[in-house]
Amino acid sequence: MPPRLQRAAVPLLTASLLALATACGGGGGDTAGTAAKPGEKIKLTIGLFGDFGFKPLYEEYKKTHPNIEITENVTQFNDHHNNLVKRLATNAGADDIEAVEVGYISTFTAQPAKFHDLKQYGLDRRQGEYLDWKWQQGLSKQGGQLLGLGTDVGGLAMCYRKDLFAKAGLPTDRTEVAALWPTWDKYIETGRKFAASGVAGAKFVDSPGEIFRAMVNQAPTGLYDDQDQIIVGSNPAVKQAWDLSNQLTSEKLTAKLAAFSPPWNTGFAKGSFATIICPAWMTGFIQEQAKDAAGKWDIATVPGGSGNSGGSHLMIPKQSKHPKEAAELIDFLTSKENQAKVFKEEGTFPSIPALYDDPSIQSFTKPFFGDAPIGKIYSEAAKALKPQHLGPKEAEVRVVIGDGLGRVEQGKQTPDQAWAQVLEDVKKIK
Amino acid sequence: MSSLPLAVARRRHRRGVRHTLDVRVSPYAYVAPFLLLFCAFGLFPLAYTAWVSLHDWTLLSDEHAFVGAANYVTLLADGYFWNAVFNTLSIGVLSTAPQLVLAIWLAHLLNRPLRFQTLFRVSLLLPNVTSVVAVVVIFSQLFGRDFGLINWVLSWFGAGAVDWAAGTATSHVALSTMIMWRWTGYNALIFLAAMQAVPRELYEAATLDGASGFTQLRRITLPMIRPTIVFVVVVSTIGAMQIIAEPLLFSASSGAGGVGASGGPDRQYQTLALFVYEQGFTKFDFGYAAAASWLMFVAVVLVAGVNYLLTRRMRGGLA
């Protein structure tokens, strides 16, 4: 190519490059930068997993805050938390308010720089109202900042199908049922009786996964020690829970339905299992999934003493443009009155102990569960709760163990082989 | 030349330059947009992934230590990685081989005067435009253990309930069925297009010589559409090596346990792409995931290359 042509070619190529660059660059800029002017409408987004029962509260909130518009984004449990990790890391896409489940709370409180300190908005005044351990979970690792405010706690109970129990010749009254299983061994023994009676199409329990979680949560220490070290291999309580869970499998008491999967939902509708571990929030699930089974489910106390399974916090990522308004909304959603309201609608149990002795909670019953005094049952469960230290990769460890239980349940491995693989997998968690 | 006035000569020269410029440079300008986009979205990510794979790189920390080939060393010793390789190949073979045979057969059936020709051809493409989520959700129900349609039909023949998602072979069959459902019609249309370019005279001559329909398919159609077969085999192979949506959604909707990306509690149907996704986007170990995706890239090139050579050699057997 003669030099003259080269000189002409360079600007030509540059021009096409520039044209492309501007074409590609156009998309990014538009969405950012919507700082609110006073009096302007403010859009708040709130990211949840599952139904928190907040919808009626938004309507109520809008009456007193006409300039606030609230959009709820609901994602599936694991996706929700994984997405939040990604959105914090890339500093884009997070909602103004994000719900974080207790299994993930330590993951996020370990990154205080990614969240707004709710103390800035005066929410530390709420400390006196809360269960102390629930409050502590929302603090940053070093304890200096308040990153999340609690919504609910998951005090444990055991839900059971009265009709299936009656068919199996077992008692159906909730105090008599509770007397059947003071311990997990007795629970398995009851399961054996249930299986022996040969009720067609129904197993004793859905799957061992959530039972395992409940048993670990009842122990003073669980998957982590106080120094955030994973102690799955050395904590006898974990091994004991593992063995008992696998006993359910080996005695063929489980319906092999992984929790929250579509076949599990179908199992509710078809009455495929007679008992299910019932943290308070599970009652809302059952009511939703087993619509036709009103009056068939009832609630008894859980074997092996009280424990906490689940419960959430609400947090405000640093990327939120309206932290002040978001904090006000959190304050509203978690207020004593509203936690009580949500409990009555959705079943998620308050984390504010003053409510536990409140007559309206104490006397609260639900027709769906055969008028079981669920207010009283979960108040007792929550009062007796011994908090447990949760580590940063709590959820990931639980997934690894859940897969192990699944391998045993699907007949792929013996419990010992599965346990060995679980310990290997746990070592890989960084 | 020398008798022309200088200005004219210069103008002519300039016109000549413009012409040469047009002929020599314009083609580059025309392909530039593709090349630039390819560099931005193809080459750069490839190179950057290679760079990431040499680091201890997690999403949660801002420090990325250089570790050399450590990720690759760990990966080659990781049983879960090889398990994913095996699953990918197994699902790939189970889905691609029957799919192509079926596609050729369907194309052969449609490559003759038919009523409602367009209707048939359009309906071939319908499964392909269905959302993969819908396909997997529906098929997961069909393959359900307790209340699935397929187990119900099998029970007529006295078979016990098959736990499709739990077994390695059964889950591969289920996933291959979903993949075949989506892609058979699409490939059939490509074959059909190629078949229509085969000269009619060949078939007429063959008919006169008394060749049966099957012989015509084997001796005329297949050799004549060989370039298309090579193309479809290579493209399907590449597609099969990258399967992720089906196993990811299958584990969520089948209730086989295993949360999302592990492909079942025993990783019985975790494919390579799903393995990469699990490491990168549920464990946030980007360095490790990057190393895995590079090895996956190498594997795709290898397998596609082998299939290319095999299909090209097919001529010997056919003609």
**CATH number of the domain bearing residue B313:** 1.10.3720.10
Per-residue pLDDT, A118: 96
Give the distance from residue A21's alpha carbon to the nearest chain B alpha carbon, in angstroms.
Answer: 10
- Chain A residues with CB under 8 Å of B33 CB are 16, 20
Per-residue pLDDT, A24: 40
Q: Tell whether B119 and B36 lie within a shared domain.
A: no
Does B262 contact A399 at a Cβ distance shorter than 8 Å?
yes
CB-side neighbour CA atoms (13 Å) of B311: 22
**Is A140 part of any domain?**
yes
Q: With 50 as the cut, is the pLDDT of residue A97 above it? A: yes
Q: Tell whether B90 and B14 lie within a shared domain.
A: no
Question: What's the domain count of chain A?
Answer: 2
Question: What's the domain count of chain B?
Answer: 2
**Is A25 part of any domain?**
no
For residue B146, the enclosing domain spans 72-318
Find the mean pLDDT for residues B56-78.
90
Q: Tell whether B126 and B16 lie within a shared domain.
A: no
Query: Tell me, what's the ipTM?
Result: 0.81
Nearest CA in chain A to B35: A17
Supply the angle between the helices A415-428 and A236-250 in degrees, to the nearest 10: 140
Q: Tell whether B40 and B168 lie within a shared domain.
A: no
Q: Tell whether B111 and B168 lie within a shared domain.
A: yes
Q: Tell whether A162 and A291 lie within a shared domain.
A: yes
- Report the run of H or E that residue A42 belongs to, with start and end: strand A42-49
B56 and chain A in contact, CB less than 8 A: no
**pLDDT tens, residue by residue, B135-154:** 999 999 999 988 899 999 99
The overall average pLDDT reported for chain A is: 88
**pLDDT tens, residue by residue, A123-158:** 999 999 999 999 999 999 887 899 999 999 998 999
Give how far Cα A120 sits from Cα of A324, A328, B58, B186, B203, Å. Answer: 9, 11, 31, 59, 84
**Is B292 part of any domain?**
yes
- Chain B residues with CB under 8 Å of A272 CB are 146
Does A262 contact B145 at a Cβ distance shorter than 8 Å?
no
Per-residue pLDDT, B258: 57
**Contact call for residues B225 and A366 (beta carbons, < 8 A):** no
For residue A223, the enclosing domain spans 155-310+359-428
DSSP A182: S
Give the distance from residue A311's alpha carbon to the nearest chain B alpha carbon, in angstroms.
Answer: 20
Give the distance from residue A126's alpha carbon to the nearest chain B alpha carbon, in angstroms.
Answer: 31
Q: With 50 as the cut, is the pLDDT of residue A78 above it? A: yes
Per-residue pLDDT, A236: 96
Per-residue pLDDT, A5: 43
Q: With 70 as the cut, is the pLDDT of residue A38 above it? A: no
Give the distance from residue A225's alpha carbon to the nearest chain B alpha carbon, in angstroms.
Answer: 22
Does B257 contact A207 at a Cβ distance shorter than 8 Å?
yes
**Is B224 part of any domain?**
yes
Q: Tell whether A128 and A163 lie within a shared domain.
A: no
Q: Tell whether B157 and B32 lie within a shared domain.
A: no
Per-residue pLDDT, A98: 97
Per-residue pLDDT, A27: 36
B61 and chain A in contact, CB less than 8 A: no
Q: Tell whether B35 and B82 lie within a shared domain.
A: no
Give the distance from residue A84's alpha carbon to the nearest chain B alpha carbon, in angstroms.
Answer: 11
**pLDDT tens, residue by residue, B4-53:** 677 777 777 877 888 888 888 888 999 999 999 999 999 999 999 999 99
Q: With 70 as the cut, is the pLDDT of residue A13 above it? A: no
Does B258 contact A406 at a Cβ distance shorter than 8 Å?
yes
**Is A227 part of any domain?**
yes
Q: Tell whether A194 and A220 lie within a shared domain.
A: yes
Q: With 50 as the cut, is the pLDDT of residue B256 above it? A: yes
- Chain B residues with CB under 8 Å of A430 CB are 58, 283, 285
Per-residue pLDDT, B3: 56
Q: Tell whether A206 and A267 lie within a shared domain.
A: yes
User: In which residue are the tokens 């003609």 written?
Assistant: B319
Q: With 70 as the cut, is the pLDDT of residue B65 above it? A: yes
Q: Tell whether A287 and A316 lie within a shared domain.
A: no
Per-residue pLDDT, B112: 82
Nearest to B266 among A12, A76, A412 (CB): A412
- Chain B residues with CB under 8 Å of A257 CB are 255
**Is A202 part of any domain?**
yes
- Chain A residues with CB under 8 Å of B255 CB are 257-258, 261-264
Least confident of A84-88, B8-12, B257-261: B257-261
Q: In what order do the strands lie in the sheet containing A158-161?
A: A203-205, A273-277, A158-161, A297-300
B74 and chain A in contact, CB less than 8 A: no
- Chain B residues with CB under 8 Å of A413 CB are 266
% of residues, chain A, pLDDT over 70: 91
Give the separation between CA B184 and CA B177, rounded to whole angstroms.
10
- Report the run of H or E that residue A205 belongs to, with start and end: strand A203-205
Give the separation between CA A369 and CA A287, rounded to whole angstroms.
9
Q: With 80 as the cut, is the pLDDT of residue B213 above it? A: yes
Higher pLDDT, A30 or B233: B233
Q: With 60 as the cut, is the pLDDT of residue A283 above it? A: yes
Per-residue pLDDT, B160: 85
Prediction pTM value: 0.84
Give the separation between CA B59 and CA B45, rounded to whole angstroms.
17
Find the mean pLDDT for residues A35-39.
55
The two tokens of residue B126 are 């319908």
What is the domain-level CATH number for residue A148? 3.40.190.10
Q: Tell whether A58 and A187 lie within a shared domain.
A: no
Per-residue pLDDT, B259: 64
Does A16 contact B29 at a Cβ distance shorter than 8 Å?
yes
The two tokens of residue A75 are 């994602």
**Is A401 part of any domain?**
yes
Find the mean pLDDT for residues A370-396.
89
Q: Tell whether B35 and B128 lie within a shared domain.
A: no
Give the separation between CA B276 and CA A409, rounded to whole angstroms.
26
Does B25 contact A209 at a Cβ distance shorter than 8 Å?
no
Res. B283 pLDDT band, cuts 50 70 90 = confident
A358 and chain B in contact, CB less than 8 A: no
